[in-house]
Amino acid sequence: MLKDSPEFTDHIGYWLRRVSNAVSSGFAAKLETLDVSVAEWVFMRLLYKRDPIPPSQVAEVMALTRGGVTKIADRLINKGYLVREDDPEDGRSQRLKLTAKGNQIVPKLAALADKNEAEYFAHLSAPEKRQLMALLQKTVEALGIDTVPIT
C-alpha cells in the first residue's frame, strides 16, 4: 500500500484521527443495522434517563446550531424515538423527551457501543487501556473541551 509521507506522521493528531475515525466508522456500521446514525445516538444518549431538555441545550452540548438540532430531532421524531413538549412556563420554549420506544432502543445501542469498544481495543492490556483513557481525559480537561462529538 502507498504510505503517507514520513514528514507528516510525527503528529499525535494524525494518529489520533486515524484511530478515532476507524473506531467511529466501525461503530457507525453497527448502529446502521438498527437504522440509527451516530448523531442520532449521541442525541438520544443525552436525553436518556434525564428530565426533558430544550433544543438549545442539546445544541450547546453537541456543538450544533439550533437549526441542526431541529433537523436531527425531526428525524428522531419521524422514527418514533422522540417527542417535543411545549414549555408551560415559556411559550417560546420546548422540551425534548424520549418516547417509550426511544427509551427501549438506547440500551440496545449501548450494547453495540460496548461491542465496538471490545472489538477495537482488544489488543491493549488493562493497564494500557487505563493509560490511554487517562491521557485522553487529561487532554479533554486541559483543553476545556466541553462538547460531545457527533461524527
Show the site string, 10-29: x = touches a second copy by CB under 8 A, - = not: -xxx-xxxxxxxxxx--x--
Residues numbered 86 to 125 that lie near a second copy (CB under 8 A) are: 110, 113-114, 116-117, 120-121, 123-124
Residue count at the site for a second copy (CB under 8 A)? 58
β-pairing, 82-86 with 94-98? antiparallel
Q: Which residues bind DNA (CB under 7 A)?
A: 37-40, 54-56, 62-75, 84, 87, 90-94, 150-151
Strands (E), 1-149: 82-86, 94-98
Query: Alpha-carbon distance 21 to 6, whole Å?
Result: 20
Residues numbered 32 to 71 that lie near a second copy (CB under 8 A) are: 45-46, 48-50, 53, 57, 60-61
Judge contact between 34 and 109, C-beta under 8 A: yes
**Shortest spacing between CB 149 and a second copy, in angstroms:** 4
Q: Which amino acid is it at 140?
A: V
Query: Looking at beta carbons only, is 3 or 91 nearer to a second copy?
Result: 3
Q: 3-class DSSP state for residue 83? A: strand
